[in-house]
Structure 1
């Protein structure tokens, strides 16, 4: 049994960060301008504004990722969460999600929010398991957004 290790992002992870996210986005939707910005330049759009990226390693391979976007005033957005289809169902997403909540606390979060889509049933179940609750959906830069959830810290 191999344990999942959660790693802090380093620039060498960018190609995998992009590939994992592009894979799930293209399976269900189309890539949009904010996707390209964050996936092509995570340092500029995620890390420099005070966010974080986590990577999941399983059996020596990077198989999952998620980001925390600093929205200001103690609010972070859980975003760009992806797990390789080859290892889905092994609890890697839950391990990543729990690590993201811990990281958000370390960064001073009072609330973590996320934007998603009602078609992503397993992801929504995972978010509920992590303690997120549904709230009204605001205007979003993503056409695919029809779900918003929050977790009060």
Structure 2
């Protein structure tokens, strides 16, 4: 046997021991988190290091879900209702505003029952209900004033008839 082969055979156990120790220490460092959780990278320190945008993308109610985009689009209804404050009360629809009020009330409650709870959707529905209540109040006040006005006109008409008869 050549001397180099004997030298390698003699060095092999030393190399195996050191390489095993190196491998084991690297493996132990990498798998040391194995017993912490199934998603070790999602711990509190990892959450703090993620950017707001990344957390929003990964959230169960984040940017990639209907839980985010439905409330964003529903704000258009709230803004349209606020825009209707400039319209005269006689041109407002009682049934439409009653439907908006009911929708706002029902869905605000529902947002706290579903999982995951969607506070953004609850907020938009709450404001939708508030706008609907305000518009219904305007319609009711207009109808009451019209009723009083018609009663007053009827009284004056009756007084004119009495004056003409006498």
TM-score normalized by structure 2?
0.21
Bigger radius of gyration among the two = 2
Bigger proportion of residues as strand: 1
Determine which structure has the larger helix proportion and give its number. Answer: 2
